[in-house]
Amino acid sequence: MFESMYASTEAGGARPPWDYGAARPQLVEWVEAQGLAGDGREALVVGCGYGADAELLQRLGFRTTAFDFAPTAIAVARRKHPDTEVTYLVADVLDLPREWQGRFDLVVESLTVQSMPPPQHALAARRIATLVAPHGTLLVLATTREDGSEVTGPPWPLTRAEVEAFADGDLVIRHLERIESGTWWRAELSRTGAVTGPA
């Protein structure tokens, strides 16, 4: 579905509804509040689309990798940013390269898990969690859904429990808030110890 939507956009169709056209404001606000500087550390953007969030992190001094399931999205990201130092790759969040495990000092997950069917949410969260390096940070951005509420997606916004499912032992939630008048989650998790293998 995602590849077909990006391909349709390339053929003159409407922009994908999740494409903001710039770095996500919810990410920009967090970055500015943190006074974030990469200082050569490694960052990963999950489901990067056209790469706006990845380019922001690169400008902040992170050595940035970004991936998307849709080959067309990656091709367009490379074309939009011809002089980029971001490494853009095609990858599946449910089948990530083993060498990425425990590698990244900052992982940004924005709206990707909620684009997947709910039975895949917990597995995707666990896969993403394994990417965070010791003492690294995971930032999760998602739209909200109340526990027990029904929704016909895509997307399938996340419940609080689904956001909390990103925590995996040594990866603990440091801050979880509802923003944008309660319509978005922003969760900051950090790893306190060594990384365990994928579940």
Residue 178 is predicted with a pLDDT of 97
In a domain, residue 28? The reply is: yes
In a domain, residue 168? The reply is: yes
HEC readout, 106-175: EEEEECCHHHCCHHHHHHHHHHHHCCEEEEEEEEEEEEECCCCCCCCCCCCCECHHHHHCCCCCCEEEEE
The pLDDT averaged over each successive group of 10 residues in the chain (199 residues) is 68 70 94 96 97 98 97 94 97 96 98 94 97 98 91 91 94 97 98 64
3-state DSSP helix/strand/coil percent for the chain, to nearest 5?
A: 30, 30, 40
Residue 153 is predicted with a pLDDT of 79
In a domain, residue 64? The reply is: yes
3-state secondary structure of 27: helix
Residue 199 is predicted with a pLDDT of 47
In a domain, residue 197? The reply is: no
**Number of CB atoms found within 10 A of residue 71's CB:** 12
In a domain, residue 170? The reply is: yes
Residue 169 is predicted with a pLDDT of 86
In a domain, residue 196? The reply is: no
Residue 31, domain CATH: 3.40.50.150
Residue 21 is predicted with a pLDDT of 79
Q: Which domain holds residue 65?
A: 2-191
In a domain, residue 198? The reply is: no
Number of domains in the chain: 1
Residue 36 is predicted with a pLDDT of 96
In a domain, residue 81? The reply is: yes
pTM: 0.91
